[in-house]
Structure 1
């Protein structure tokens, strides 16, 4: 029994067979796991890229997506003669002045510094079309002047709010912007926030809600755009019937309805600016143009800093050569000999 070679009979055949079966089971499990992983990877690779997917509802928002047309453009095309019949503007239409080689007619309106009066008129016109061509009559309590009046005559619950005309909207906008010392760029941001609210909250401007909705958009636009923003208590000095608590509630509800998204991309700002200018041309708004002179050229930044430095350079009359030999006062250069 102590010999190193035992004479006992073992069932080696059954042990080898059992080991072979376990190896087969292990390989089968590994193969199935690998197949599942491959299928999982294939499903991942088959997913559509985010840029190729269909645009969601928020991406169709014209105040967010740069390729979506603004809402006021669509509503202004419903009845183009509506403004001319109700606003009753009797100004004669100015003839377009064409520029020539010697005379250039331009207006003091650029995308970075829009004309103040023109932008207030354009935004008022866009708000007017939103009210006249509204698609629903949904009213939120926070925007209803019957519950939160901005004028003493609106305190009565039975008061009827007439359809506002263009002049009424323009006077309201002009009073707020002039008194609060807001810029013309702030008017464009106001319209962006207003259409963002109409899209996300599924509401429309109505005769009893348009003032408070526009006021809420101005509150946000003045704080986002201007570095030295107007406080809410300052608006209470402009609108005597309002209170500071009412202004705070209006601003908070406005932010909640637009999902706290106050970002305005530069592409969206540019889109609204050019669409507002086109709206002004369609509705014959006064768009004064003047002859471009030297002062206005510098004011409109017609010349870049590089061109200004070039014209102020005393060496601008020198001829361009490949060397400095022709420049007076410059020593002639001697070519250095190369010794190999």
Structure 2
């Protein structure tokens, strides 16, 4: 029980044949690997080049949270007050569950991982859950609008000057904050009709916050739909191999002209200074912060016990030779206690969902 590591780990007979770049990941279409030198870990493997050694970031990206992986995204600070309220309500719910136990009433139980059982969901950084990712992105947009610092905007994003439908725009269109479900329904409709992926939703949020940072504007009730539409338009073209054409979005939003879509895309790119690169470390940062935001707002991901086959498949996803290892029987090795160990502690294999 005094062992600080897991009692057993899986190792591969062909582990020594892995290439250095496999230790840190791989490149995706439209995503370039990125990490600043300040984030180098002291536990880097000897003789293996660090990921920051193969990346070059422009100097003006040091204050850009959408390009610098060491800076927090914008949406966590906008949602901090609501997260604190939810944490207080959670503590109260735990107290209420304890009272129900005393009164012999079955409370609502939550699943927690333990030494004997590990619960995981179907969402990983490489394959996020589509529905919950879109909901989390909608939460981030919702808190951006609700806790905005000003009402700075540009004409190209004004919904009254450039309506998305023939319906008359309400008089209070610039004063009534949209609800989370309305934002989610708008984003989900576009993603469903265009058949976009969950990764595209994360890149959409990166472009949205990059626009707010570069153009020095705020997302508000009068412009949120066109800002989100422009971010989705760019994300779908950069991320997906088979991009959705502007005319296809005109089939989804039937009352908008293709000339308006082209103008929106052109001005969006100009305000982003044509910076559409998203580093893998920035992508991962947004993914995990979105998960934290979803958890703070009680957006649960379906959990199931981690089985042996699922564990091998997850491990295989992170190895070049992992496909061949799925059908191999792993070698079970007992780890040593860390008591009295001061130099070069053994690294254990971890599975992160």
- TM-score, length of structure 2 as denominator length: 0.66
Structure 1 distance, partners of 2:251, 2:326, is: 51
Counting only pairs closer than 5 Å after superposition, residues 5-154 of structure 1 correspond to structure 2 as 58-80=61-83, 95-154=109-168
Give the count of matched residue pairs.
256
Superposed CA RMSD: 3.0
Structure 1 residue 224 corresponds to structure 2 residue 227: no
Q: From the superposition, tell whether residues 56 and 291 of structure 1 become closer, same or farther in structure 2 (CA, over 3 Å).
A: same
- Residues 169-228 of structure 1 show CA distances to partners (whole Å, capped at 9, x for unaligned) of 010111111110000000000000000000010001110100000000000000000000
The structural deviation recorded for 1:312 is: 4.6
Judging changes above 3 Å, is the alpha-carbon distance between structure 1 residues 167 and 306 closer, same or farther for their aligned structure 2 residues? same
TM-score (norm 1): 0.68
CA 1:128 to 1:269, structure 2 compared with 1: closer, same or farther past 3 Å?
same
CA distance in structure 2 between the aligned counterparts of 1:137 and 1:114, rounded to whole angstroms = 33
Q: Which residue of 1 aligns with 2:16?
A: none
Q: What's the offset of the Cα at 1:300? A: 3.8
Q: 1:279 aligns with which of 293, 299, 305?
A: 293
Mark the runs of 5 or more structure 1 residues left unpaired by the alignment. 1-50, 85-91, 317-340
**Partner-residue secondary structure (3-state), 2:278:** coil
1:108–1:300 CA contact under 8 A, matched in 2: no
2:305 aligns to what? 291
Q: Could you tell me whether the CA contact under 8 Å between 2:69 and 2:285 is conserved in 1?
A: yes
Q: Which residue of structure 1 lines up, in the alignment, with residue 227 of structure 2?
A: 213
Asked if the contact 2:86–2:296 (Cα under 8 Å) also holds between the matched residues in 1, the reply is no
Residue in structure 2 matching 1:262, options 255, 270, 276: 276
Summarize the Cα distance change of 1:94–1:284 in structure 2 as closer, same or farther, 3 Å threshold.
Answer: farther
| Larger RCO (CA under 8 A, 6+ residues apart) | 2
2: distance between equivalents of 1:183 and 1:121? 13
Q: CA deviation at 1:290?
A: 1.1
Measured in 1, the distance between the counterparts of 2:193 and 2:202 equals 18
Q: Runs of 5+ in structure 2 lacking a partner?
A: 1-36, 39-57, 88-96, 98-106, 332-353
CA pair 56-135 structure 1, distance change in 2 beyond 3 A: farther
Does the CA contact (< 8 Å) of 1:78 and 1:133 recur in 2? no
The yes-or-no answer on 1:160 pairing with 2:163 is no
Contact 2:316 2:326 in 1 (8 A): no
- 1:94, 1:215 → 2: CA distance? 39
Measured at CA, do residues 245 and 266 of structure 1 come closer, stay the same or move farther in structure 2, by a change above 3 Å? same
Q: Which has the larger radius of gyration?
A: 1
Alpha-carbon distance change, 82 to 163 in structure 1, aligned in 2, over 3 angstroms: farther
Write the distance in 1 (CA, Å) between the matches of 2:226 and 2:291: 25
